[in-house]
A = this chain, B = another copy of it.
Amino acid sequence: MNSDEFRRQGHMLIDFIADYHSNIEQYPVLSRVKPGYLRQLLPPSAPYEAEPIEEIMKDIQTHIIPGITHWQHPSYFAYFPCSSSTAGILGELLAAGFGVVGFNWEASPAATELETIVMDWFGEMLSLPKPYLFSGGGGGVIMGTTCEAFIVMLVAARDQKLAEIGKDKIGKLVVYCSDQTHCALQKAAKVVGIRPGNVRAVATTRAAAFALSPDSLESAVLADVEMGWVPLFLCATIGTTSTTAVDPLKPLCHVAKEYGMWVHVDAAYGGSACICPEFRHVIDGVEGADSFSLNAHKWFFTTLDCCCLWVKNPDALKRSLSTNPEYLRNQASDSGGVIDYKDWQLTLSRRFRSLKLWMVLRSYGVANLRSFLRGHVAMAKAFEKLVAGDDRFEVVVPRRFAMVCFRMTRTTPSDEGANNLMNKKLLERVNGSGRVFMTHALVGGIYLLRFAVGSTLTEAEHVMEAWKVIQEHADAIQGDYKHLY
């Protein structure tokens, strides 16, 4: 680690990344390589002697970039965005440059303290109720992903409940969610030892825009309680993966609390929008929940990974997750006057992630951040209008944020199978063009296309262009599917 060499290579890499972003539109959004392509291009073993950075960068350009699906491409509308920014990338760089491991306060006080501060800042921007903030007795922590947050919340809730009902009753515990909840919840429940059969994915309907109905929840809970099961946990979602549905927090919390459940609000995607007053209502009722999380790497410009989790009762986490081996003991921790984040999460070691969130908040400020999100929403609105104006298409569910769920539709309802196949073909063609990348979902038997706006580089023209590509392929598809018309 020679400082001159770091400088030389670092400047080279910065220029490489700047050029990559400048030229990104020349690449197909979805990678076109075939499985196994890279093993044929790279040597079978690591080099014995050092190789110059120039050689490595050449390989990155010729071998790696063709195998990349460009999440930062302005014509990337797939999954949810993984939104990037100058501040986010450079915050990650700076964290790597400092190379600190902030598992406890002493291991780098700034890492812990900055995290508590920015989590309070961000919580305030979202108008989270005071009890979720450090200043109100709760607090926030930055994890990698929502999957980790799910596991942590489930462990805390599980141990709290088992302390009440008996340690051998883990087989009795039941977790509730909707059939639209992210699959990570089922996986997390399995990880913590909840039987897969004890996760109730309550059915939603298109009529209710795929939101979890409090009445359906209550029926499911009642039936379980009658059978001797023990309600443990409810996960409500603000912006589901398939359609960005919003579960109604107030009445759901009401039901859950009646049966002594922990309520977690998964706002991985939709949460960020709550910094705009006109969206804040989607989390009305959050005051009745126990924990709330969002992924700042989805729609808040921090780059992966940055899952922000707030809890009202950090002690519940600490009771389940604390470790106190002698080799980690120190005066500050022993004093009880500091936060040791290792006890709030699954892992011991942790990167200095608050740095990038802080840099994003300061580099752009509340005003710009709101306007970035509003810009994405406006583009999605414009796309929605284009879809609605073409009678070969329909918008499947009302748009809530910056994603439009739509499909081609020409067949009678009894012919949904053919309709779904047609949309699947349309998606394959559009993605195969390399000019746009979208993904799909299947809800209520409907195969729909998801157009998720949120890539930092996306401008109105890219949305227009995407719509043109979709229309072109719809024209072609209509030829193939004439018999359906």
Chain A residues near B (Cβ < 8 Å): 1-7, 9-11, 13-22, 30-31, 33, 35-39, 42, 45-51, 53, 55-56, 60, 63-72, 79, 82, 84-86, 88-90, 92-94, 96-101, 105-111, 113-114, 116-118, 121-122, 124-125, 144-145, 147-148, 151, 155, 158, 167-168, 170-171, 182-184, 186-187, 190-193, 195, 241-242, 297, 303-305, 320-321, 323-328, 331-332, 335, 337-338, 346-351, 355, 359, 361-368, 428, 439-442, 450, 456-457
Contact (A105, B35) CB under 8 Å given A93-B89, A124-B46: yes
Shortest CB distance A401–B (Å): 16
User: Complex formed: what's the CA distance from A22 to B97 in Å?
Assistant: 12
Assess the B50–A368 pair: CB atoms within 8 A: yes
Shortest CB distance A18–B (Å): 4
User: Complex formed: what's the CA distance from A363 to B88 in Å?
Assistant: 26
Assess the A117–B38 pair: CB atoms within 8 A: yes
This chain: copies in complex? 2
Residue of B82, B186, B440 touching A100 (CB-CB under 8 A): B82
Assess the B155–A457 pair: CB atoms within 8 A: no
Shortest CB distance A24–B (Å): 10
User: Complex formed: what's the CA distance from A338 to B31 in Å?
Assistant: 14
Residue of B10, B68, B88 touching A90 (CB-CB under 8 A): B10
Contact (A94, B60) CB under 8 Å given A114-B38, A147-B346: yes
Assess the A17–B50 pair: CB atoms within 8 A: no
User: Complex formed: what's the CA distance from A104 to B144 in Å?
Assistant: 17
- Which residues of the other chain, B, contact A3 by a CB distance below 8 angstroms? 18-19, 21-22
Residue in B closest to A147 when the chains form the complex, CB atoms? B347
Assess the B72–A98 pair: CB atoms within 8 A: yes
Assess the A11–B9 pair: CB atoms within 8 A: no
- Which residues of the other chain, B, contact A17 by a CB distance below 8 angstroms? 6, 10, 93-94, 97
Assess the B18–A10 pair: CB atoms within 8 A: yes
Assess the A365–B33 pair: CB atoms within 8 A: no
User: Complex formed: what's the CA distance from A116 to B38 in Å?
Assistant: 10
Shortest CB distance A319–B (Å): 11
Shortest CB distance A340–B (Å): 11
Contact (A49, B365) CB under 8 Å given A5-B86, A10-B18, A21-B3: yes
Residue of B15, B362, B367 touching A56 (CB-CB under 8 A): B362
Pick the most buried of A19, A21, A36, A349: most chain B CB atoms within 10 A of its CB.
A349
Assess the A46–B9 pair: CB atoms within 8 A: no
Residue of B1, B118, B368 touching A21 (CB-CB under 8 A): B1
Shortest CB distance A156–B (Å): 11
- Which residues of the other chain, B, contact A10 by a CB distance below 8 angstroms? 14, 17-18, 86, 89-90, 93
Residue in B closest to A60 when the chains form the complex, CB atoms? B94
User: Complex formed: what's the CA distance from A346 to B192 in Å?
Assistant: 11
Assess the A145–B349 pair: CB atoms within 8 A: yes
What are 9 A-B residue pairs whose CB atoms fall within 8 Å in the complex?
Answer: A4-B18, A6-B14, A10-B14, A13-B94, A51-B363, A67-B114, A72-B98, A92-B92, A144-B144
Shortest CB distance A336–B (Å): 10
Assess the B11–A47 pair: CB atoms within 8 A: no
Shortest CB distance A344–B (Å): 12
Assess the B332–A35 pair: CB atoms within 8 A: yes
Assess the A327–B241 pair: CB atoms within 8 A: yes
Pick the most buried of A21, A125, A186: most chain B CB atoms within 10 A of its CB.
A21
